[in-house]
Amino acid sequence: MLSKENNDLLTRTGPDTPMGQLMRCFWTPAMTEAEVPAADEAPVRLQLLGEALVVFRDTEGRVGVLDQHCPHRGASLFFGRNEEGGVRCVYHGWKFGVDGECLDMPTEASDSPMRCKVRARAYPARIAGGVLWVYMGDPDKMPPLPDFEWLGLPSSHVYVSRWEQDCNYAQAMEGELDSAHVGFLHSLVDKTHDDDRALTGRFFKNDKAPLWKIVPTPSGFLACNGRRVDESQRYWRVNQFLLPFYTMIPPHPAEARLVRMWVPMNDERCWVLCATFRPDRPLEDKELTAWRNGDYAHRRVIPGTTRPTERLDNDYLIDRQQQKTVSFTGIAGIRAQDAMVSESAGPIVDRTREHLGSSDRAVVAMRRSLMEAARACVDGQRPVGPDHPYLYGVRATQTVLPESLDPTESDELMGTARPKDLPAASA
């Protein structure tokens, strides 16, 4: 369990909080590239780390991310006119460019020095890998983008989606690191999948208490979880946690790879972005169709929105008959099943009431990593991840190993899972 003080430390991400200070050391994935308006189109709202923002493209196609509230009298720039290189507030006509500069102040005298002094709060923005990235930290310490594998791939190899989740980012992310739940939450009651490595296959069904080994890395940890296959073998999966809110789970060998991002909107809601990609070939139409319909890696949403179709306010469309005869939950979709257990605990779960077991080791490690990094950040210690982007060029992996072999000694597992060592001067 956590104390109330530590629970607040973990879950509060506003500008004046330790966790918020930590997260602002990193570039933040904010929305998909497809959601960014075209040049001179109307701005769109974006809530990120407790801040209300607007996103737009100016006439030249440059992306702007501004504080939603006009610095004049606080009216929302969402209602503004995106015209001729900037967003104009409809209240008094003040106009701002992508860097926050006031381009026009028609209600003031032409020789007034005020226009040169007033700026809208603006954040640097870049598009890479089908994602809009926003940097909300110290301008003098802006790092490079993280070196995720999918950022360097052609757009034909990558699909990114985004949806809302009605709970704090940390409890949403915990489910991704909790491999022990798979044999229950995602299981079927009427059959076992023929493929042993499928989530409804024999490996997960027969051993519901995996062996855990947590391996720290410079920007997170490897969550190694092993299930007994027989007396001589164990099925090992290596999940990744990367500061401050990234996870990777190993795909089935035939499936695309993925990275999920659990980004705070505010303290009680989060965005989930999922990048699914194939390094070796373009994605197929049947894959894209399945993902857009909410298959496995992605979540089904109401068309034209980021709002999921299965939600707490409609009981995730649970089918009690299906729960008796087909699936363990009666809820369709792995992502909806995960959301149900996270959101039904409340917007911010009261961790003072928990009773953690050995199966929660990765969850404990994630919380500890984040809280230690946040405290260190307050003390003036910058996390290593932002300035060493190669630490993010890793993979989640899986394989069957002899029972006697430690997973960290397997080149097959660790070859792409463990990041390179830091240079000696930075260690």
Distances 33 to 120, 182, 321 between C-alpha atoms, Å: 23, 32, 40
If we measure between CA atoms, which residue out of 223, 229, 206, 203 comes closest to residue 403?
Answer: 229
Question: Residue 49 is part of a domain; what is its CATH number?
Answer: 2.102.10.10
Q: Do both 364 and 414 map to the same domain?
A: yes
* Same domain membership, residue 198 and residue 107: no
159, β-bridge pairs: 276
Tell me, yes or no, whether 21 lies in a domain. no
* Residues 83, 229 within the same domain: no
Domain with residue 366: its CATH number is 3.90.380.10
The two structure tokens encoding residue 131: 């994602």
pLDDT in tens, the chain (427 residues): 899 999 999 999 999 999 999 999 999 999 999 999 999 999 999 999 999 999 999 999 999 999 999 999 999 999 999 999 999 999 999 999 999 999 999 999 988 888 889 999 999 999 999 999 999 999 999 999 999 999 999 999 999 999 999 999 999 999 999 988 888 888 888 877 777 667 766 778 888 888 999 999 999 999 999 999 999 999 999 999 999 999 999 988 889 999 999 999 999 999 999 999 999 999 999 999 999 988 879 999 999 999 999 999 999 999 999 999 999 999 999 999 999 999 999 999 999 999 999 999 999 999 999 999 999 999 999 999 999 999 999 999 999 999 999 999 999 899 999 887 765 543 3
What is the reported pLDDT for 422? 60
Count other C-beta atoms under 10 Å from residue 207's C-beta. Answer: 16
Residue 248 near residue 396, CB atoms below 8 Å:
yes
Instruction: Check residue 101 and report its DSSP letter.
Output: B
Residue 27: phi and psi, rounded to 5, are -70, 140
Which structural domain range is residue 242 located in?
149-420
Q: Identify the CA nearest to 250 among candidates 414, 31, 130, 420.
A: 414
Strand partners, 104: 95
Same domain, residue pair 187 and 46: no
Structural domain contains residue 18: no
Does residue 127 sit in the same domain as residue 205?
no
Assess if residue 6 is contained within a domain: no
Q: How many domains does the chain have?
A: 2
CA nearest neighbour of 190 among 293, 325, 100: 325
pLDDT at position 245: 98
Say yes or no: 189 and 316 in one domain. Answer: yes
Residue 199 has which token pair? 């989530």
Domain identity same for 128 and 187: no
Q: Are residues 117 and 238 both part of a single domain?
A: no
**222 backbone φψ class: left, alpha, beta (φ>0; ψ -120 to 50):** beta
Same domain, 136 and 199: no
Half-sphere exposure in the Cβ direction for 31 (13 Å, CA): 20
Same domain for 213 and 336?
yes
Assessment of whether the complete model's pTM goes beyond 0.85: yes
Residue-level pLDDT at 196: 66
Query: Do 121 and 169 share a structural domain?
Result: no
Asked whether residue 193 is assigned to any structural domain, the reply reads yes
